[in-house]
Homo-oligomer: A and B are copies of this chain.
Amino acid sequence: MPKRYLMAPGPTPVPPAVLAAGAQPVIHHRGPDFRVLMRRCLDRLHDVCRTRSDVLLFTASGSGAFESAVVNLLSPGDRVLAVSAGAFGERWAQLAAAYGADVHDLTYEWGETPRPEDVRARLDETGAEVVFLVHSETSTGVVADVAALARVAREAGALTVVDAVSSLGAVPVETDAWGLDVVVSGSQKALMTPPGLSLVTVSEAAWARSATAANPRFYLDWTRLRDSLETGTTPFTPAVSLVVALDTALGLLLEEGLENAFARHAALGRACREGAKAMGLELFSPDEERSAVVTAILTPDGVDARELVLALRDRFGITVAGGHEELASRLFRIGHIGYFDVFDITTALVAVEELLAERGAEIERGRAASRALEAYDEAVRV
């Protein structure tokens, strides 16, 4: 009965209380118990998203919720700008193109951080009316400065749609204060719930645009869902057990306090980066405060990251993520989103250290774990 360690950037470990909540007998989605549950869950999502706008909860993966933004905001031929610096930015460009949008891109090398001045320039050039941003690009570990990017979008008169799937609950997402029109997230990252639910926030401007958007929609239609949620239920049978689980997890998160959760994630990121550096490894993620969600690390010369990822899993039961495409042979990623503490980080680091040493890599041994603990302590003390 080997223990398993889920350290991929999603799905993430689910607290026992949340697993237990989801295992309660199923209740009917049209009854009063569910209405109370759904209303509390939506209230908590408002708090976590820091918005007074509508929050809509879908039974779907995060990609389904993102698609809802495309079909509710766009008509075929609408000009959009997709800002991409990794796998998810590329996915949203493909998605918008599948619905006939006139997709312009602002594409960076994977691992780069999008710059506000580039977004401004591309919006001026293209006249795009909607801009798709990725907050935390889990394929690279980069967390963008969405506040700054959204500001230039607003100045250019474009709506912003933000992929906050892996960022919401881990790093600040100030939906209203930053003027984000649509924030998309999922249950399975920092919200510490099994996958299967996803959400969007919808600003007044986004509602206004949706009224004339011509793309066809039914299951992902915002208006139908809002009208039903206002009565405490959903138009289609929701994943009731996951709503119970999510509500419980949101309660835990708000009990910890959002600012404390952000500080914890920042400290976990710092611990992971400092531990990796102490071993002599090169970081792929930026070595900065915002890299609080997932840490992407390059393997030393001669060690294939794909083999390292498999060995971590097969030898130690530790699931981390590899790199995509051309980065696959060099990159591995340690997620620290949601129900994580510093000993999850030290576990990952000492396992990596052991396997790298076995493979003859030139690394510094015996320092990673203590340096991670030290960095974590420094970070939380600030």
Residues of chain A at the chain B interface (Cβ within 8 Å): 4, 6, 8, 10-14, 19-20, 22-32, 59-64, 67, 70, 94-95, 98-100, 186, 188, 194-196, 215-220, 235-242, 313, 319
Most buried by B among A62, A94, A241: A241
User: B residues within 8 A CB of A28?
Assistant: 6, 8, 11, 319
User: B residues within 8 A CB of A30?
Assistant: 8
Q: In the complex where A11-B26, A239-B194 touch, is A31 in contact with B64 (Cβ < 8 A)?
A: no
- What is the CB-to-nearest-CB distance from A2 to chain B, in angstroms, rounded to a whole number? 11
B219 touches A61 (CB 8 A): yes
User: B residues within 8 A CB of A6?
Assistant: 25-28
Q: What 7 additional pairs, Cβ within 8 angstroms, besides A13-B26, A98-B218, A239-B242?
A: A11-B28, A14-B26, A20-B23, A31-B319, A61-B237, A62-B236, A242-B242
Docked CA distance A216–B215 (Å):
9
Can you list 18 residue pairs at the A/B interface with Cβ under 8 Å? A11-B26, A11-B29, A14-B25, A23-B23, A27-B319, A31-B313, A31-B319, A32-B313, A61-B238, A63-B236, A64-B219, A95-B218, A99-B216, A186-B237, A195-B241, A196-B241, A215-B216, A239-B242
- What is the CB-to-nearest-CB distance from A56 to chain B, in angstroms, rounded to a whole number? 14
Docked CA distance A138–B96 (Å):
36
- What is the CB-to-nearest-CB distance from A216 to chain B, in angstroms, rounded to a whole number? 5
- What is the CB-to-nearest-CB distance from A280 to chain B, in angstroms, rounded to a whole number? 28
Q: Which of B11, B31, B98, B237 contacts A217 (CB 8 A)?
A: B98
Sort A-B residue pairs by CB-CB distance and give the 8 closest, nearest first: A196-B239, A23-B23, A61-B236, A194-B241, A63-B236, A19-B23, A64-B219, A195-B237
Q: Which of B59, B237, B313 contacts A10 (CB 8 A)?
A: B237
Q: Which of B10, B25, B195, B239 contacts A4 (CB 8 A)?
A: B25
B23 touches A238 (CB 8 A): no
Docked CA distance A186–B30 (Å):
18
